[in-house]
Amino acid sequence: MERDAVSGPGTGLSIEPGTLYVVATPIGHRDDISARAVALLSHVDVVAAEDTRHTGRLLSMLGLAVAQVSLHEHNERDRVPVLVERLKQGEAIALVSDAGTPGISDPGYPLVAAAHAAGIRVVPVPGPTAMVAALSASGQPTDRFVFEGFLPARAGTRQERLRNLATEPRTLVFYESGHRVVAALADLAQAFGDDRPATLARELTKVHETIRCTTLGALAQCVADDADQRRGEIVLVVAGAPESATVASEERLREVLDALLPELAPSRAAAVAARLTGTSRRAAYRAALDRAERDDPEA
């Protein structure tokens, strides 16, 4: 199907046929949608939406009548090839999720990957994402950070994940839900220490927006004591481990491995050392192999 590019009103942009637009939408405040996003949504052939009823409300608030097709984690496998075919036929498609940037702890990645694999142009239309909004207002260092998404729901798996992150020197960003934030903050304080600086960013851009910048211990106490602080959507931004903690932990790992390696195989020594020092198994194994090789270069 031959299609012409369409110009978006007032944006100086054109909507290209056969292109996948990845469009960010508000995370709360309805005015946080860009003029470019509105122009694109009004001109694409179809909007691939995580929840068509939810996106329908956004589109009708913007006064737009656009065809939608649902694309969520339960139908992605079947829908992606159909959408790629439509793109190949020359349709312009906008991918949106319920809130924020598609693909960021939301559906979207498989369609984007499949579009690239099929040689289709993918164009980001940037806008809100809770992770960057929280980080930017957190007061924690923003020059280097890691986004960890949602922590595992199961306590044991979550605690193991956090032990592995305890010496991460970059700022850490986590998504959390109100009903798990008490457990998550208790585990964070346990793994990283009560005194680690941290920010709780809740209901960003909404009426009850709260940004509380203190320590993990104080935040754990605050959400345990005050049910209001558990309501709504939450991002936790945690300062990275101080340099001294990373160095001390590496030294401790070396000491433990020195004691274990004469007695145990590297994999076993690494597993025990990881448990004793809170280092990740992978890092402990790498260190164990390095030390085993240093002690016996012929091995």
| Residue pair 188/236 in contact by the 8 Å Cβ criterion | yes
Select 129 or 215, whichever has its Cβ closest to ligand SAM.
129
Closer residue to ligand SAM (CB): 100 or 217: 100
The answer to whether 210 contacts ligand SAM (rule: CB under 6 A) is: no
Q: Does 125 bind ligand SAM (CB under 6 A)?
A: no
End-to-end alpha carbon distance in the chain: 64
Helix residue ranges, H only, the chain: 35-43, 52-61, 76-88, 109-117, 130-136, 155-165, 181-192, 216-225, 243-260, 266-277, 281-295
**In the complex, minimum distance from the CB of residue 262 to ligand SAM, in angstroms, rounded to a whole number:** 47
Q: Which two tokens stand for residue 90?
A: 């020359």
Pick between residue 101 and residue 164 the one whose CB is nearest to ligand SAM.
101
Position 201 contacts ligand SAM (CB under 6 A): yes
Cβ atoms < 10 Å from Cβ of 157 = 11
- Closest of 259, 258, 250 to residue 277, by C-alpha: 250
181/196 Cα distance (integer angstroms)? 17
Name the closest residue to ligand SAM (Cβ). 100
C-beta closer to ligand SAM: residue 76 or 250? 76
Find, among 116, 128, 120, 92, the residue nearest to 14 by Cα. Answer: 92
* Radius of gyration of the CA atoms of the chain, in A: 24
Q: Give the C-alpha separation, 58 to 41, whole Å.
A: 11
Closer to ligand SAM by CB, 27 or 80: give it: 27
Verify binding: residue 176, ligand SAM, rule CB under 6 A.
yes
**Three-class secondary structure of residue 91 per DSSP:** coil
- Candidates 20, 33, 204, 284: give the one binding ligand SAM (CB under 6 A): 204
DSSP letter for each residue of 128-179: --HHHHHHHTS-S--SSEEEEEEPPSSHHHHHHHHHHHTT--SEEEEEEEGG
User: Looking at 17, 28, 197, 217, which residue binds ligand SAM (CB under 6 A)?
Assistant: 28
Return the residue of 19, 55, 101, 171 that touches ligand SAM, per CB under 6 A. 101
Residue with tokens 């012929």: 298
Least separation in angstroms between residue 245's CB and ligand SAM is 26
In the list 160, 203, 254, 259, the residue contacting ligand SAM (rule: CB under 6 A) is 203
Nearer to ligand SAM, 51 or 203 (CB): 203
Closest separation in Å from C-beta 2 to ligand SAM:
35
- Selected from 188, 235, 253, 260, the binder of ligand SAM by CB under 6 A is 235
Contact with ligand SAM (CB under 6 A) among 190, 205, 246, 249: 205
Q: Which two tokens stand for residue 12?
A: 């100086």
Q: How far is the CB of 29 from ligand SAM (least distance, A)?
A: 8
Asked whether position 198 contacts ligand SAM by CB under 6 A, the answer is no
By beta-carbon proximity to ligand SAM, the closer residue of 70 and 246 is 70
Instruction: Dig out the tokens for 37 from the structure.
Output: 């996003």
* Of 93, 115, 218, 234, the one binding ligand SAM by CB under 6 A: 234
The helix or strand, by DSSP H or E, that contains position 214, with its residue range, turns out to be strand 210-215
**Residues that bind ligand SAM in the complex, under the rule CB under 6 A:** 27-28, 97, 99-101, 104-106, 129-131, 175-177, 201-206, 233-235
